[in-house]
Structure 1
């Protein structure tokens, strides 16, 4: 589905290809079930999801040990199975960064990330989500009626089992920000800062992206209470210190074997809108922001006036200036 992310803009974005359904294989029954959702953050198959979606399948060394896999949807609506290789767990938030690889004999196809945003949401701001649901799932109790955008289907082949059908639908769901918890909502279920919305989160949606009205990923689905009455999301700020192997993104460095999202964003290797600026290279940062603002204006958009700086000198969260 192509989305025009801001009123008056001529730019369109295919957000559907950024969504990553996660399935578990039932080895006894020979079937697959949807267990969660994620979204791509690099072209090399790195995705972010909720840690509770994958924790039972990941060993203490971060190596996948379970029968789970991710599904990459292509722009022509074909699907590709990707296996888990390596995972990084956030020390505080319910988040994980997963390195995936295409399951053989499929030829590798670059994954398509969508820009994330560190701009802070406000109460009553409109937001939306692409929910991954069963292809025949019945929908009820939505405050704002959603739209089932597309149904995907394919087969999973394995040496241990006969072909298994993989079938799911993507539903566009709408809502608004109801409350923002700057510290924590509670000490057990949500012991960290989070955002509350009325966007429906169905079973299997944990770890998926929440979008703002400009089509930027602004938070990650965490949990919901009371059916579809209240949903909670981790802000994008939480992903910045998740790490990936340098080699997995084509960086050969024997000294720094891992790169954080924060470092990669400062180098413009992970997409943020507005772009993350490098506090240690101010001239380069100024040029980057001018280029960003120019592209927005040419495309008929108003650029975000928020400025986010990152530095490699201290492992701290980026500073933010609101214009």
Structure 2
């Protein structure tokens, strides 16, 4: 029995030694520094200070600005440095790989990640450094309505939010606010989340930083529930790493019209009085004197011919009598 145990031990010890040696070759120690890249050139100069307390992987740099990670995979080790690790985002990761391996920054300046494939020396991968420069990013925002033509109560409206940046990564979100009278739809933009602001606003924050010179476009929509006369605003937030605030806000109009096609107005809005129209006095036609007709003789119902004949006869007798009398005097 003892012979069997001794034989097993003799066979197992070499196998254990091989396994231990194999395990040692599969893990490495990673070391480096974090420094403040004052001139932003991506290369560490002798007068640029090292930074304590910067998080890299599962550790932080010590009081001298150095860090060490042990037991890391020998190939394909992944670690991350905080992209906005110091001064509340006013210093951000500098552009990587700008110099030699002992003086440059190695971490992706957009998201802070690094995957290592270099061969260790005596089990150590050294000079894995992180430089932080004063921010030079300049994000700006635009907002554009997607609908065309008049907007009426009951219509759906959509606005396109466009965030652009320069040659540096951007680390901003955006607040979009509609005027009262719009019910917002559920926001479902890619690589981002949204938190409500009041009843008509959203704070959109992004899960990844924005790549240099790469526009980021999102859409926010809603339904018009009552007459509206106002603007939709887009305002960059979380912008400590942004150098110019003059282009961080934009707006676009939102105004409803009635069914007749005319714009609705707020009843509290003061409008100019209608111009006074002078009305010419009505022309009075000259009064026409009525034509007076002579009154007709009363009709007694007696035929007037016979009284006329009788009168003429008496007149003739009178002339005859006068004539006879004159003859007798003669």
Please say whether Structure 1 and Structure 2 have the same fold, judged by a TM-score greater than 0.5. Answer: no
Higher relative contact order (CA 8 A, sep 6+): 1
TM-score band w.r.t. shorter chain: under 0.3
Normalising by structure 2, we get a TM-score of 0.20
Normalising by structure 1, we get a TM-score of 0.20
| Larger strand fraction of residues | 1
